[in-house]
Structure 1
Amino acid sequence: MSSADKNLSVFATSELPDVSHRRFAILVAEWNTEVTEALYKGAYQTLLQYGAKAENIVRGNVPGSYELTLGAQWFALRDDIDAVIALGCVIQGETKHNDYINHAVAQGLTTVSLKTSKPVIFGVLTPNDQQQALDRAGGKHGNKGDEAAITAIKMLGLQKQVYTKF
């Protein structure tokens, strides 16, 4: 089934780890604010819904999606942050700027995650137009912010599984 035909924010939530003691940073790009604020609300509410405490969620803003990488690194290097969720939206335009930005952000966030051994979640929309972005930020295709939050929780669960002695 193509993404045009379903809600993309349907995910398995059985056996999620306890994250009541975990600390999350949600990093939000200010470019395309209507979209990124909806992504933030989805991520924040999902973290709360699945056990995170409000006082353990820190928000940071960056000017645009390109700056998510450095902002994510700053948060990931903090000892009191367990996972970083990076939220942004780069809409395809008349130029190829989106290709360069999306590639740089994806590579940068991956590098930060590997460098710090912490989950750094890519919650950046890469739609063709504004409507596609809205459809994925709480519209008919769900909310990518929800997915990013669940991904952070699941990765923390995997981290605990890998590093817990049996």
Structure 2
Amino acid sequence: MAGFGDPHMETVDAAGLRLGIVGARWHSDLVDHMIERAKAAAEACGVTDVVVSRVVGSVELPIIAQALAGSCDAVVAFGVVIKGETDHYAYVNDSVTSGLTRVALDERTPVGHGVLTVHSLGQARDRAGLEDSIEDKGWQATVAVLDTALALRELGKP
């Protein structure tokens, strides 16, 4: 967490947009909370059409994000990947980030990256938007992806 440069986006007027949310079931207590914060952010932005889907782990997020991108104006993906003692962490993070980016570009639909890639459970808790968290990635990723969908609409991109 850099701790600086946050654009402090509270809400945007995204009424009429359809939002897809996909979350991993690993670390479900944190992901469930981020999904709830995403739904609250969508509601605060005027979004009433929200579709939520769940998958086992973070690696599966891109394929469901792609399916949601076909019927949604924006998609946001949530997961938690905590560094262990092997290189698996790096492979998962690379796969998820590349996959979500590819979906956004291929589908021309913004995909928010709300996957926490951290070194400890404490770092994940600090970012999950809990009462004692210092960041709220569920809210932030959702507002950012809705803002991007609005920017695309303004540019005349379907």
Q: Same fold (TM over 0.5)?
A: yes
Count how many residue pairs are aligned between Structure 1 and Structure 2: 155
Contact 1:9 1:144 in 2 (8 A): no
Q: Judging changes above 3 Å, is the alpha-carbon distance between structure 1 residues 10 and 137 closer, same or farther for their aligned structure 2 residues?
A: farther
Q: 1:64 & 1:96 partners in 2: Cα distance? A: 17
Name the CA distance, whole Å, in 2 between partners of 1:74 and 1:85. Answer: 12
**Structure 2 residue aligned with 1:21:** 16
Q: 1:70 aligns with which of 52, 63, 70?
A: 63
Q: Percentage identity across aligned positions? A: 33
1:21 to partner: Cα distance: 1.1
Residues 1-166 of structure 1 mapped to structure 2, 5 A cutoff? 2-3=2-3, 11-13=8-10, 16=12, 18-53=13-48, 56-78=49-71, 81-138=72-129, 139-163=132-156
Determine helix, strand or coil for the equivalent of 2:118: coil
Which SS does the other structure have where 1:141 is aligned? coil
Which amino acid is the alignment partner of residue 128 of structure 2?
A: A
Report the TM-score when normalising by structure 1.
0.86
User: What is the TM-score of this pair, normalised by structure 2?
Assistant: 0.90
Structure 2 residues not aligned, in runs of 5+: none
Within 2, Cα distance between the matches of 1:13 and 1:64? Answer: 29
Q: Any stretches of 5+ residues in structure 1 without a counterpart? A: none
Note if contact 1:43-1:145 (Cα within 8 Å) is conserved in structure 2: yes
Shift of 1:106: 0.4
Shift of 1:9: 7.3
1:9–1:141 contact (8 Å) kept in structure 2:
no
User: Tell me, what secondary structure is at the counterpart of 2:103?
Assistant: helix
Q: Distance in 1 between matches of 2:70 and 2:150?
A: 20
